[in-house]
Amino acid sequence: MIYPDSKTILEVRNLCASVEGTPILKNMNFTVKSGEIHAIMGLNGSGKSTFSKVLAGHPDYEITSGTVIFEGKNLLEMEPEERARAGLFLAFQYPIEIPGVGNSQFLRLMYNTVQTHRGKEELDPLEFDDFVREKMKLLEMREDFLDRSVNAGFSGGEKKRNEILQMAMLEPSLAILDETDSGLDIDALRIVAQGVNQLANKDNAIIMVTHYQRLLNYIVPDFVHVMVDGRIIKSGGKELALELESRGYNWVSDEYKAASRVAA
């Protein structure tokens, strides 16, 4: 939702990033204000997943130029764990499996670490158990989930729900959902979307990175951006997603190239 008195949460200016010397992001510009839901769409290899990982501070990517200001702070100077503690959350496209580490143990360490850094009280194991079970209801998760190892042997849907559960627990000011709809059946998609919608409010913001329009039927974006070759080349409202769905991506590129020629 677009609010009149919103504040800027994320300001990306001329961001360039490369992996092993190959440029992926090329002058990326992007602004997110509180209360907003953005969708970044694009084909495989357009750089949209790279953008998510760069924001979260993945060590494989090298920032070659540009700035990123997150809630007034220089994001690029922060370690990945500091970004997380400051309220930036990434729901992974492929949540990693951690065999041997119990979910409840992991979630409690995660929650208490972040709480402590935010100057809030930790929860003891019993309080935490009540807290996490309440959040689990939101995502219709099975009771035995807590006793299992983190993501180990989870179905695609369970992994994605686990991501949104963590988002619900941490209440980030900026959540980036990287291809959260991939690998989800329609029921799981509905549950995940419902969870995200309940978490969205006027103080936080959400960036959805996705291939398909499908997710946007459930989580309605305020803005849709088209990413091609490492930059955003077109932005619009939610109707842009529908247009992409029916017409594909080529016309956006063609339009952009034509515009670039005119400008030159």
Per the structure block, which two tokens stand in for 223?
């803005």
Is 122 a binding residue for another protein by CB under 8 A? The answer is no
Is 148 a binding residue for another protein by CB under 8 A? The answer is no
- As measured in angstroms, the least distance from the Cβ of 117 to another protein is 7
- As measured in angstroms, the least distance from the Cβ of 259 to another protein is 37
Stretch that binds another protein, among 83-91, 195-203, 206-214, 250-258 (CB under 8 A): 83-91
| Measured CA angle at 33 (ends 32, 38), to 5 deg | 50
Is 100 a binding residue for another protein by CB under 8 A? The answer is yes
106 vs 218, beta carbon nearer another protein: 106
Binding residues for another protein, how many (CB under 8 A)?
A: 31
Mind spelling out the 3-state secondary structure of 169-199? HHCCCEEEEECCCCCCCHHHHHHHHHHHHHH
Q: How far apart are CA 223 and CA 240, in angstroms?
A: 9
The string of DSSP letters for 46-84 reads SSHHHHHHHHHT-TTEEEEEEEEEETTEEGGGS-HHHHH
CA atoms lying within 13 Å on the CB side of residue 32:
30
- As measured in angstroms, the least distance from the Cβ of 212 to another protein is 24
Is 166 a binding residue for another protein by CB under 8 A? The answer is yes
In the list 58, 148, 190, 238, the residue contacting another protein (rule: CB under 8 A) is 58
Stretch that binds another protein, among 40-48, 52-60, 154-162, 250-258 (CB under 8 A): 52-60
Q: How far apart are CA 181 and CA 76, in angstroms?
A: 28
86 vs 224, beta carbon nearer another protein: 86
Is 104 a binding residue for another protein by CB under 8 A? The answer is no
Q: How far apart are CA 160 and CA 188, in angstroms?
A: 9
Q: Which residues bind another protein (CB under 8 A)?
A: 56-60, 79-81, 83-85, 89-90, 92, 95-96, 98-102, 105-106, 109-110, 113-114, 117, 149, 166, 170
